[in-house]
Amino acid sequence: MNHTTSEKPSQSRSLVGAEALLRELFKDERTRPTLRWLRGMQAKRLVPFRKIGRRVYFDPEEVRRSFDAQFKVESLG
């Protein structure tokens, strides 16, 4: 018996380090925030991350959604 669902199959999401996250989210190197800025955001718990042992990993899609929710400024018009 075949069951069909409207859910999409889960896509594998990659976890990346801090420097790779900044490169992926901010393509233009001239306007890219610093690693120190990201670590500050992490310390304030403003960016989602996973800690495995001493290593810290980020999901770029999750971080992008978090930034959109926290820092998006809506227009008045």
Render each residue's pLDDT in the chain as its tens digit; 77 residues: 555 444 454 566 799 999 999 999 999 999 999 999 999 999 999 999 999 999 999 999 999 999 999 999 989 97
How much is the pTM? Answer: 0.77
Domain total of the chain? 1
Q: Are 48 and 58 in contact (CB under 8 A)?
A: yes
**Inside any domain, residue 6:** no
In a domain? residue 7: no
Q: Is residue 5 part of a domain?
A: no
Does residue 63 form part of some domain?
yes
Give me the amino acid identity at 3: H
User: What range does the domain containing 49 cover?
Assistant: 18-71
